[in-house]
Chain A
Amino acid sequence: SQTIHQWPATLVQPVGSPLSLECTVEGTSNPNLYWYRQAAGRGLQLLFYSVGIGQISSEVPQNLSASRPQDRQFILSSKKLLLSDSGFYLCAGGRGELFFGEGSRLTVL
């Protein structure tokens, strides 16, 4: 079965610092990969999705970026974090039904 690994689970970062969240997928090849963000008390917002290595589509303009250096690896980055980047970040992957990781809770101070 498919498993999504996501880390770190929790991090606290100062405004202006860089960010790197990593996600890897097991149990399937050539998955579609996604990054979602969930602000406190809000729904899930799709940030990026990827259908293959090096192929990234952005759903919303922001100071975040995503990369897919390998088939089963998806990275979310920022060069300079903003307060508004705080939230719960979820990686998802699959073809058809999507499986989600356990999330990374980011607090920007």
Chain B
Amino acid sequence: DAKTTQPPSMDCAEGRAANLPCNHSTISGNEYVYWYRQIHSQGPQYIIHGLKNNETNEMASLIITEDRKSSTLILPHATLRDTAVYYCIVLVNYGGATNKLIFGTGTLLAVQP
């Protein structure tokens, strides 16, 4: 079973920041938080991951609360092409032998023009 809870859907205006929340209250100390997104009929695309510090890359920022029980993915300037289902996943054994991405239902982000 997925260990994360996400809202089923969100809307965002084009050009504005999209903030996607995720709850992972049972996360273990060695579990990372990963974000993927899936545009319709395509394979999931890796976005970002983190352990406890906030992370930023060219696609997004990841804010993890101090107690690590929740996180927020931030797309700073959403475009229509960011419309997708966004999955928050917790994953143990980074780089190890049993990385199993267990996908929940995700959040459908609809970017509106």
Q: Which chain A residues have a beta carbon within 8 Å of chain B's beta carbons?
A: 4, 32, 34, 36, 43-46, 49, 51, 59, 88, 90, 92, 94-103, 105
Total interface residues on B, using CB and 8 Å?
Answer: 22
> In the complex, how many angstroms separate the beta carbon of B39 from the nearest chain A beta carbon?
11
Q: Which chain B residues have a beta carbon within 8 Å of chain A's beta carbons?
A: 34, 38, 41-46, 49, 94-106
* 18 A-B interface contacts by CB (under 8 A): A32-B98, A34-B100, A36-B103, A43-B103, A43-B104, A46-B100, A46-B102, A49-B98, A59-B100, A90-B43, A95-B99, A96-B94, A96-B95, A97-B34, A97-B46, A99-B46, A101-B43, A103-B43
Which of A34, A59, A95 contacts B95 (CB under 8 A)? A95
Q: Chain B: interface secondary structure?
A: loop
> For residue A36, which residue of chain B has the nearest CB?
B103
A46 contacts B101, C-beta separation under 8 Å? yes
Q: Chain A: interface secondary structure?
A: strand
> In the complex, how many angstroms separate the beta carbon of A23 from the nearest chain B beta carbon?
11
> In the complex, how many angstroms separate the beta carbon of B89 from the nearest chain A beta carbon?
10
Question: Hey, which chain A residues are within 8 Å of B44, CB to CB?
Answer: 44, 90, 92, 100
> In the complex, how many angstroms separate the beta carbon of A99 from the nearest chain B beta carbon?
7
